[in-house]
Amino acid sequence: MNKVLENILARRSCRAFDPDKKVPEELLNKVLTAALNAPTGRNRQQTIFVAVTDPEKLKWLSAINCRIGGWAQDFDPFYKATAVIIVLGPKSVSTTVYDGALAMGNMMLAATSLGLGSCWIHRAKETFELPEGKEFLKSLGIEGDYEGIGHCALGYALKEPPAKKILDNRIFFAK
């Protein structure tokens, strides 16, 4: 089978990362390169990415995500991932969510091809609507009105994610 199709069929959401195995910078950069190569509406290329690997910043991100999701603070909505890539797009661009979603897909497929686990974690929109989310971006030198699109949790899987059950009756042909 074609290697691209094999990779697509092998990708799973990982919800149990090894907290002691850091994602090497070289692999993180490859995942980010895949994100930068995602298609964007009218080739605007205005989606931006924040790679978070600092344990304290990951805890901060997790705490906000828990607060938004209504979970106890001891829950880790990032499943102990050692890297999280935040995907943001300018609110003024009509295709910003689609552009970011394509980048998320590219990153998750790249992660699979590199032997990493990944999971799309939601609540980025809510996180970066909060004053502390905006302050976080400002502290990195990111100015402007950005919408959070998703968090791509990355790391090494503690266990093989289960096979995906494909639901029936989702493809239609108009011949």
Residue 103, number of CB atoms within 10 A of its CB: 27
Residue type, 116: L
Q: Which DSSP state fits 160?
A: P
- DSSP 8-class letter at 130: S
pLDDT on residue 35: 99
Confidence of residue 162 (pLDDT cuts 50, 70, 90): confident
pLDDT at residue 2 is higher than 90: yes
pLDDT band for position 163 (cuts 50, 70, 90) = confident
pLDDT in tens, 15-72: 999 999 999 999 999 999 999 999 999 999 999 999 999 999 999 999 999 999 999 9
From 31-35, 40-44, 130-134, 162-166, the region with the lowest mean pLDDT: 162-166
Encoded tokens for 121: 């974690």
Domain ranges of the chain: 3-155
pLDDT reported for residue 59: 97
Q: How far apart are CA 32 and CA 20, in angstroms?
A: 22
Q: What is the pLDDT of residue 161?
A: 87
pLDDT at 157: 98
CATH number of 3-155: 3.40.109.10
Using 50, 70 and 90 to split pLDDT, how confident is the model at 112? very high
The model carries a pTM of: 0.97
Report the mean per-residue pLDDT for the chain.
97
The whole-number pLDDT of residue 129 equals 98
User: Given this model, what pLDDT does residue 83 score?
Assistant: 99
User: Count of CB atoms within 10 A of residue 173's CB?
Assistant: 4
